[in-house]
């Protein structure tokens, strides 16, 4: 089944969708600055874009969507901006809890959430508990997350696990100590805003991911842009280190 944007435009092959898409949601601040708006307005617009993209992924049959919401380095931003991001996350989670079972959207959180407010931790716990009750698209939200931090934490957990003493360490075993344990690695990583780097995002999991970069700022990212990213992915030859066919 092919999905058309409009006549003669590239098509999306609905039979070859990536199983797992990850997105670095970048460009909120620049989007606001270009409109002479406060950065908080950019984050609010970006939150709406996230809602639309998550809904669209569910509609077309993507199994996993992982988004970079707040990194371990983002604490360096102003207290006002950090507060805005946390308030938006709280607002989103409250709305999601009301609709999760109806919309069949599960949630999991990657990152050290122990430093978040008690209110946010409670909402996170509630959404993850609700997610165990049904099947549906899984949205992984990276909050206070860093790829290097995740790897260090996994190494510490493995080292302290007495049951693994004497057992040869493999990629599969090490992966089981990551936040993403049990979740397939992303097939496609998308970064809007014109930047071309990972910024400490899913360093272990992205070893063989396909990358898609676009100059479109995150608040302007829409269904058509997501289709373009998926079409680019579908036109690639994924060899995982093997020779070209």
Q: SS3 sequence, 135-178?
A: CCEEEEEEEEECHHHHHHHHHHHHHHCHHHCCCCCCHHHHHCCC
Asked whether 28 and 43 are in contact (CB, 8 A), the reply is yes
In a domain, 59, yes or no: yes
In a domain, 36, yes or no: yes
Q: So what's the pLDDT on residue 1?
A: 47
In a domain, 165, yes or no: yes
In a domain, 245, yes or no: no
Q: So what's the pLDDT on residue 162?
A: 72
Q: So what's the pLDDT on residue 243?
A: 60
Query: For residues 120 and 143, what is the distance between their CA atoms, to the nearest angstrom?
Result: 11
**CB atoms < 10 A from the CB of 62, how many?**
23
In a domain, 6, yes or no: no
What the block records as the tokens of 226 is 């997501």
Residues with active-site annotation: 26, 74
List, for residues 96-140, the tens digit of each pLDDT value.
Answer: 888 887 888 899 999 999 999 999 999 999 999 999 988 889 999
Asked whether 39 and 32 are in contact (CB, 8 A), the reply is yes
Read off the CATH number of the domain in which 146 is found.
3.40.1180.10
From residue 62, alpha-carbon distances to 47, 181, 190 in Å are 19, 19, 14
- In terms of phi and psi (left: phi > 0; alpha: psi -120 to 50; beta: otherwise), the region of 99 is alpha
Name the domain count of the chain: 1
In a domain, 61, yes or no: yes
In a domain, 149, yes or no: yes
- Domain range enclosing 81: 17-232
What the block records as the tokens of 100 is 């999760």
Q: What is the pLDDT along the chain (245 residues), one digit of tens a residue?
A: 445 555 567 789 999 999 999 999 999 999 999 999 999 999 999 999 999 999 999 999 999 999 999 999 999 999 999 999 999 999 999 998 888 878 888 999 999 999 999 999 999 999 999 999 888 899 999 999 999 999 999 999 998 987 766 788 899 999 999 999 999 999 999 999 999 999 999 999 999 999 999 999 999 999 999 999 999 999 998 877 666 66
Q: What is the pTM of this model?
A: 0.92
Which residues, other chains included, contact 29 with Cβ-Cβ below 8 Å and sequence gap of 6+? 39, 42
Q: How many residues are present in the chain?
A: 245
In a domain, 239, yes or no: no
């Amino acid at each position: 089944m092919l999905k058309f944007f409009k006549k003669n435009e590239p098509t999306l092959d609905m039979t070859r969708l990536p199983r797992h898409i990850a997105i670095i949601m970048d460009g909120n601040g620049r989007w606001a600055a270009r409109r002479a708006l406060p950065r908080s307005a950019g984050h609010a617009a970006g939150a709406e874009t996230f809602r639309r993209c998550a809904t669209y992924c569910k509609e077309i049959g993507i199994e996993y969507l992982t988004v970079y919401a707040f990194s371990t380095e983002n604490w360096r931003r102003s207290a006002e901006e950090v507060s805005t991001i946390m308030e938006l996350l709280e607002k989103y989670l409250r709305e999601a809890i009301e609709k999760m079972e109806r919309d069949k959207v599960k949630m999991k959180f990657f990152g050290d959430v122990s430093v978040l407010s008690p209110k946010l931790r409670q909402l996170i716990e509630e959404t993850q508990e609700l997610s165990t009750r049904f099947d549906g698209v899984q949205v992984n939200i990276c909050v206070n997350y860093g790829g290097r931090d995740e790897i260090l934490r996994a190494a510490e957990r493995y080292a302290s696990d007495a049951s693994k003493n004497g057992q040869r360490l493999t990629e599969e075993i090490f992966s089981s100590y990551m936040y993403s344990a049990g979740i397939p690695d992303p097939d496609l990583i998308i970064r809007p805003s014109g930047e071309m780097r990972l910024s400490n995002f899913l360093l272990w999991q992205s070893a063989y991911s396909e990358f898609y970069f676009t100059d479109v700022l995150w608040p302007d990212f829409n269904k058509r842009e997501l289709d373009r990213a998926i079409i680019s992915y579908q036109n690639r030859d994924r060899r995982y280190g093997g020779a070209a066919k």
